[in-house]
Amino acid sequence: MPDIELVNMSRHVCRNVNLRIMDREIFVIVGTTGAGKTTLLNVIAGVADYKGSVLIDGASVDKVSPRRRGVGYLFQGLALFPHMTVEANIAFGLCAAGMEKSAADRRVASLMEMMHIKHLAHRYPHTLSGGEKKRVALARSLAPSPQVLLLDEPTASLDHQTAKYLRTELVSLLKRLEMTTVYVTHDLREAEEIADRIALMSHGRIEQVSTPRDFFFDPRNEFVSEFVGMPNIIECTRSRTLTSGLVEVVSDEMTMVLPYDGGNIRKIAIPPDDIYISDVKPPGPALNRFTGKVVEISRYGSNVRVRVSIGKNRLLAELPASAFDELSLEEGKDVHVVIKLRRLRYVES
């Protein structure tokens, strides 16, 4: 599978973007709305004019039309042809390539089988659910056997459950097909789940390209740090396995028990909204609970950021202003801290 390179690419908000996507990797582009994510996909696909250069497998494709770039594209709006059945939609690219009918029928059948949409063959797009439409669109983009797959927010406007299910299937499929994939999303957590590497875009610029872990443990600048939620990085001096699936880590006065089945943990990243603070001792077992002192309180939009010191560790907690106002906390006062990690982000020794 080819790699993709953008050299000094400019279009609309994007200015002199340089980017390299490795062959067979799942490369996720995240960013806020208007960052230029879809523009990048359009440029790679060749459906938008641009300045600069796009290379696929080392060869320039600037003069190559979209129909010959070998790129499969799942558009954000899907763009399923409303006047064609599911079967006809999927077969469209094959007919365009002049494939023989029986061969095309076989390929369509196998794709529908793979995407579990065989029962939808003679239905029209407007009769399908959101999830079904996404599967059909994906099958259609895969039908001509592209070398590169572009996915623009494939789980957008799906409910949480369906999105999760589709994402799992998608990752499994992409890994199986080993395609060079560029995946666009605004959800960092989704990117974390599936990406080999992530590029964070803002106002047409690439802020950082790295593995998901490095985003949390090595944000390049304040914007990246803010985007990933300004996690607290805790250096662990000691780590020991308690039992299968549980590990105890120590960092100065803090001893935490974490669900983990592996080697020694050297660092963990704790997002501020995974830290709960209270002016009274919360009920429940004394697990991952600490007493600290309020060092700094600042308002941040509709939230309040509270810096708490626990021994040598300085943790940043973030909570809604309405919740903070119910507590009687002020700088210098003692505070109870509970850490409830929703997702473990760590660096091993």
Partner 1 sequence: MNNKSGRLQSAWGALPVVVFIAVWEIVGRFDLFPGQFFFPPFSAVVKEFYHLTANGVLGKNFASSLVRVLIGLCSGSIAGIFVGVMMGWRSVINRALNPIISLLYPIPALGWLPLLMLWIGINEMLPITIIFICSFFPVVYNTATGIRNVDGRYVQAAETLGASNMRILFKVVIPLALPNIFTGLRLEAGMSWRVLIAAEMVAIPTGIGALLMQAESLVRVDIIMVCLIVLSVMCLLFERVFVIMERRLIGKWSNHA
* Contact footprint for partner 1 (CB under 8 A): 42, 45-47, 65-69, 71-73, 75, 77, 79, 81-83, 92-93, 96-97, 124-126, 140-141, 143-144
* Cβ distance to partner 1 smaller for residue 181 or 208: 181
Shortest Cβ distance from residue 97 to partner 1 (Å)? Answer: 5
Kindly state the DSSP code that residue 290 receives in the 8-state scheme. Answer: E
Minimum CB separation from partner 1 for residue 38, in Å? 11
Token look-up 């208007």 returns 34
In whole angstroms, the minimum distance from the beta carbon of 2 to partner 1 comes to 16
Which CB sits closer to partner 1, 95 or 257?
95
Strand order of the β-sheet with 14-21 is 14-21, 4-11, 51-56, 59-60
| Nearest residue (CB) to partner 1, 57 versus 218 | 57
Toward partner 1, which CB reaches closer, 12 or 289?
Answer: 12
**Of 146 and 219, CB closest to partner 1:** 146
C-beta separation of 198 from 210 below 8 A: yes
Q: How many CB atoms are located within 10 Å of the residue 222 CB?
A: 9
Q: Closest distance between partner 1 and the C-beta of residue 78, in Å?
A: 8
Taking the C-alpha atoms of residue 10 and residue 103, their distance in angstroms, rounded to an integer, is 41
206: exposed, middle or buried (Cβ count in 10 Å: 0-12, 13-18, 19+): buried
CA distance 287 to 47: 55
Q: What is the closest distance, in whole angstroms, from the C-beta atom of residue 67 to partner 1 in the complex?
A: 5
